A = this chain, B = another copy of it.
Amino acid sequence: MHKITFFGLGNMGLGMASNLVSAGNQVTVYDLLEAPLELMVNKGALAASDSISAIKDAQVVISMLPAGKHVKALYEKLLAHAPTNTLFIDCSTIDALDAKALHKLVRSNGHRFVDAPVSGGVAGASAGTLTFIMGGSKEEVEQAMPILQQMGKHCFHAGGEGAGQIAKICNNMLLAVLMAGTSEALKLAIDNGLDPKVMSEIMKQSSGNNWALQHYNPVPNVMEGVPSSNEYSGGFLVDLMNKDLSLAMSAATANQSVVPMGALARSLYQMHGLRGNGKKDFSSIYEAYLKE
């Protein structure tokens, strides 16, 4: 049992905080909106009247916010008021440079920090089957691990400060490449008269095999129970993929890394988003290859 304060009760955060309550922790929440606060109180959380009082007894502070600037603003308000040696875990997906700056900032205030971005979506947050990718020292990560395991299934230690963010965006950049590449390989096969089911089976057992073919085929009705067979609703939104690809491009620019395939996947997803597909699942990139 830990005393945990949770900030960021969006769709993801609600599921995550609920699982922390279910696991028997004393969870304190604060949010500007009434609705999610009430919802959490009904589940057994404590509601604080402001962010600073929310953390006065905290052992662990978890944040799940839209971008680095939000996390930074929150932390700048909290750090001086947190009990010494509080463990801050940021589960937001933010710029790796921002995450590194947060490590420095939190430590200079006498606390500990782990960047721990998440994958698995709203469904995974609710079911407690998320994947967390952590950046921080061995000690910090070992402390964060049992708490994150209450919200997720897989927890990886990617490396030092900011490594969680880097690992997540590298994975998601590769995912964008896989999904676009798989889409166009399947469309090329279809254009030449092949059945996408047959082609998918062959590639799954060959060197083209990848996560998209195995779990998330982008062509409608090749696979059951995936977004492509449900009008690309639900799943991992194009808008979110675009956010991650933007972070990947930013990381690539920072270090002069060469990312031709990632940059092209980025442009394809951007153009797909511009066409009004931002709220569709990201496997809908397949539609970019079709005649309207």
Chain A residues in contact with chain B, CB under 8 A?
96, 119, 131, 133, 154, 156-160, 162-163, 166-167, 170-175, 177-178, 180-182, 184-189, 191-195, 198-199, 201-203, 205-211, 214-216, 242, 246, 248-253, 255-268, 270-271, 274-276, 288-292
Task: Output the nearest chain B residue to A265 by Cβ-Cβ distance.
Answer: B261
Contacts of A193 in B (CB 8 A): 159-160, 163, 166
Interface majority SS (helix, strand, loop, mixed), chain A: helix
Are the CB atoms of A177 and B175 closer together than 8 Å?
A: no
Are the CB atoms of B249 and A249 closer together than 8 Å?
A: yes
CA distance A163 to B194 in the complex (A): 7
Known A262-B185, A267-B259, A292-B275: A251·B202 in contact at CB below 8 Å: no
Are the CB atoms of A184 and B261 closer together than 8 Å?
A: yes
Contacts of A262 in B (CB 8 A): 181, 184-185, 188
Contacts of A251 in B (CB 8 A): 188, 192
19 A-B pairs with C-beta separation under 8 A = A119-B206, A157-B198, A159-B194, A166-B194, A170-B188, A171-B202, A173-B185, A174-B208, A174-B210, A177-B177, A177-B185, A181-B265, A192-B255, A207-B215, A249-B252, A256-B270, A261-B261, A271-B289, A274-B289
Give the most central of A191, A198, A214, A266: most B CB within 10 Å: A191
Known A175-B207, A181-B177: A258·B246 in contact at CB below 8 Å: no
Known A211-B210, A274-B291: A199·B187 in contact at CB below 8 Å: no
CA distance A170 to B201 in the complex (A): 13
CA distance A222 to B271 in the complex (A): 24
Contacts of A158 in B (CB 8 A): 194, 198-199, 202
CA distance A275 to B291 in the complex (A): 6
Contacts of A209 in B (CB 8 A): 210-211, 214
Q: Which of B157, B189, B275 contacts A275 (CB 8 A)?
A: B275
Smallest CB separation, A191 vs chain B (Å): 4
Are the CB atoms of A203 and B171 closer together than 8 Å?
A: yes
Are the CB atoms of A173 and B194 closer together than 8 Å?
A: no
Contacts of A175 in B (CB 8 A): 207-208
